[in-house]
């Protein structure tokens, strides 16, 4: 069997390249720790879900519900924990699988359009933001599954396949459970731009009603997603007001929004999302101008397929152009269209050096994962610090308990806020994690010895006073 597989890969270099890309990313999942704040936060939420058995409401802490995002990404990582135990691989593996689903959907779409499915799969997989996100514990890959299914479903439905139209509405339901109503805005922008750009201002809307099962499709979407929203509000009243008004309006219009219950908003200059796209979608953003020129020259203008790919690709940037609260991963739902656009431009020809570029991206990510696992992660995650404990003793954190601390202690590390609280727990041997600046400024830790140290924190072993 292995011999047959080896011969098949050697006979098909494109399949070999894609296999290497996916395998390298899969192997990298267990190398580096969950780092604060994003991955460690969502990893800890998944661990809490698996431990408590509360699969309805994601938890920010044992007694604090998380209203910031719907639960799909937490369900995914918690399922990994149920299957593999608590580990980096367990919480990341379902997001790697989600990336494989996106690759498969995009490749199938390419094939129906007469493009090379393997080329599209390689282009997509080797885009930097997609490759990094294919296994990152975040909400964005689950959202991209929904967006890709919605866009593919819509286009194929427009071409006459109503079954795909219903699958498109299932994609919207996935997006609603992954990140919320933003999926409706993203797809709405992409579809509206394509219809107006491709068909004019009035005619396409009549065709939309004829070709797309809007009423039954929307009912299917609500049937798949609305029950969770209603049950979540019933379980923790106030969720819908915070999630809809706060997360989807105030966060968007106010980059310094002070109502965030779970952190701080990001404040970037308006339009930064376009710069994020140019960098995050490397190396293939460098090919986009040439691709558009080839397509324009070939048809003396851009054809409908090209306009569809471009509309899909830029919809996240249109949405977030006037938002300051943005991150590079926000461009991810439009990245499948980048691969389709480039493959369309070079249909029947070889994209310049694309196999070599793809393998270089793979090698760089593996090297980065190894470096993070060996060195810099010590200052971005508490995994290494907690591994330096040599005895099974209680572990306390002085004034600051980060998400990686909670994940790698499996929820056993406890926070002490001040000297009075600490005096109540120091009657028996224990470990204490303290910031280096705090260690220098107080005499509270007189009975403690330095066990391990990193750039900003120290692990102390403390005996009876």
Q: Judge whether 337 and 305 are in contact, CB under 8 Å.
A: no
pLDDT of residue 152: 98
If we measure between CA atoms, which residue out of 267, 262, 156 comes closest to residue 213? 156
What number of residues does the chain have?
A: 465
Query: Which SS3 state, helix, strand or coil, does residue 237 take?
Result: coil
- pLDDT confidence of 195, banded at 50, 70, 90? very high
Structure tokens at 355: 């196999």
pLDDT of residue 1: 47
Alpha carbons 60 and 57: distance in angstroms, whole number: 10
**pLDDT exceeds cutoff 60 at 415:** yes
How many CB atoms are closer than 10 A to CB 355?
A: 17
How many CB atoms are closer than 10 A to CB 391?
A: 9
- pLDDT confidence of 296, banded at 50, 70, 90? very high
Q: Judge whether 344 and 295 are in contact, CB under 8 Å.
A: yes
Cis peptide leading into 37, omega within 30 of 0? yes
Alpha helix segments (H runs only) across 375-459 = 383-387, 403-408, 419-423, 436-441
pLDDT of residue 315: 97
The tokens 């990245």 sit on which residue?
335
Q: State the virtual CA torsion across 317, 318, 321, 327 in degrees, nearest 10.
A: -30
**pLDDT exceeds cutoff 50 at 328:** yes
Structure tokens at 32: 């580096």
pLDDT of residue 203: 78
**pLDDT exceeds cutoff 50 at 330:** yes
Alpha carbons 351 and 303: distance in angstroms, whole number: 20
If we measure between CA atoms, which residue out of 169, 138, 173, 170 comes closest to residue 330? 138
For the chain, what is the largest distance between any 2 Cα atoms, rounded to a whole number of angstroms? Answer: 83
CA atoms within 13 A on the CB side of 47: 27
Which of 190-194, 264-268, 368-372 bottoms out in mean pLDDT, i.e. has the lowest?
A: 264-268
Query: Which SS3 state, helix, strand or coil, does residue 450 take?
Result: strand
Question: What's the per-residue H, E or C state across 127-175?
Answer: CHHHHHHCCCCCCHHHHHHHHHHHHHHHHHHHCCCHHHHHHHHHHHHHH
pLDDT of residue 21: 92
Q: Where are the beta strands (DSSP E) in 46-115?
A: 59-61, 64-65
pLDDT digits (tens, 9 = 90+) for 384-400: 999 999 999 999 999 89
Alpha carbons 192 and 223: distance in angstroms, whole number: 25
pLDDT digits (tens, 9 = 90+) for 335-367: 999 999 999 999 988 888 888 888 898 888 888
Paired strand residues for 433: 397, 459
| Helical pair 13-28 and 354-374, crossing angle rounded to 10 deg | 10
- Mean confidence (pLDDT) of the chain: 90
**pLDDT exceeds cutoff 80 at 226:** yes
For the whole prediction, is pTM greater than 0.85?
yes
Query: Running DSSP on this structure, what letter comes out for residue 283?
Result: T
If we measure between CA atoms, which residue out of 266, 246, 380 comes closest to residue 327? 266
Instruction: Tell me which of 2 and 54 has the higher pLDDT.
Output: 54
If we measure between CA atoms, which residue out of 116, 128, 124 comes closest to residue 277? 128
Q: Which value, in Å, is the radius of gyration of the alpha carbons in the chain? A: 24
pLDDT of residue 257: 55
**pLDDT exceeds cutoff 80 at 372:** no
Query: Running DSSP on this structure, what letter comes out for residue 270?
Result: T
Of the chain, the end-to-end C-alpha distance in Å amounts to 65
Cis peptide leading into 63, omega within 30 of 0? no
Is the Cα torsion angle 181, 99, 49, 44 positive or negative in sign? negative
Query: Which SS3 state, helix, strand or coil, does residue 61 take?
Result: strand
């Amino acid at each position: 069997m292995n011999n047959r597989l080896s011969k098949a890969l050697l006979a098909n270099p494109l399949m070999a390249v894609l296999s290497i890309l996916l395998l390298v990313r899969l192997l990298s999942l267990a190398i580096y720790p969950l780092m604060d704040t994003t991955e460690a936060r969502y990893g800890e939420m998944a661990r809490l879900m698996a431990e408590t058995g509360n699969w309805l409401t994601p938890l920010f802490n044992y007694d604090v519900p998380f209203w910031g995002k719907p639960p799909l990404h937490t369900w995914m990582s918690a399922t990994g924990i149920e299957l593999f135990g608590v580990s980096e691989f367990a919480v990341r593996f379902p997001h790697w699988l989600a990336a494989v689903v996106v690759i498969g959907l995009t490749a199938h779409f390419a094939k129906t359009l007469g493009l090379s499915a393997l080329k599209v799969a390689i282009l997509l997989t080797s885009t930097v933001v997609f490759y990094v996100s294919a296994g990152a514990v975040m909400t964005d890959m689950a959202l991209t599954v929904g967006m890709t299914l919605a866009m593919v479903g819509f286009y194929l439905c427009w071409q006459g396949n109503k079954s795909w139209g219903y699958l498109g509405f299932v994609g919207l339901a996935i997006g609603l459970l992954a990140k919320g109503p933003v999926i409706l805005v993203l797809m709405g922008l992409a579809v509206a731009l394509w219809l107006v750009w491709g068909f004019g201002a009035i005619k396409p809307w009549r065709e939309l009603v004829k070709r797309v099962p809007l009423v039954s499709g929307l009912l299917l979407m609500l049937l798949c997603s609305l029950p969770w929203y209603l049950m979540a509000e019933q379980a923790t009243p106030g969720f819908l007001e915070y999630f809809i008004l706060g997360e989807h309006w105030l966060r968007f219009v106010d980059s310094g929004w002070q109502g965030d219950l779970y952190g701080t908003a990001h404040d970037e200059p308006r339009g930064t999302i376009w710069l994020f796209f140019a960098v995050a979608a490397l190396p293939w953003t460098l090919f986009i101008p040439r691709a558009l020129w080839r397509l324009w020259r070939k048809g003396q203008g851009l054809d409908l397929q090209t306009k569809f790919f471009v509309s899909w690709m830029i919809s996240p940037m249109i949405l977030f152009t006037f938002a300051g609260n943005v991150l590079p991963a926000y461009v991810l739902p439009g990245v499948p269209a980048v691969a389709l656009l480039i493959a369309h431009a070079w249909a029947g020809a070889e994209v310049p050096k694309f196999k070599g570029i793809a393998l270089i991206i793979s090698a760089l990510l593996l090297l980065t994962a190894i470096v993070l696992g060996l060195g810099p992660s010590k200052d971005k995650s508490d995994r290494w610090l907690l591994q330096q404990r040599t005895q099974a003793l209680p572990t306390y954190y002085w004034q600051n308990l980060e998400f990686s601390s909670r994940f790698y202690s499996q929820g056993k590390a406890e926070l002490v806020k001040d000297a009075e609280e600490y005096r109540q727990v120091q009657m028996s041997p224990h470990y204490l994690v303290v910031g280096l600046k705090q260690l220098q400024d107080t005499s509270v830790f007189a009975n403690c010895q330095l066990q391990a140290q990193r750039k900003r924190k120290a692990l102390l072993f403390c005996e009876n006073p």
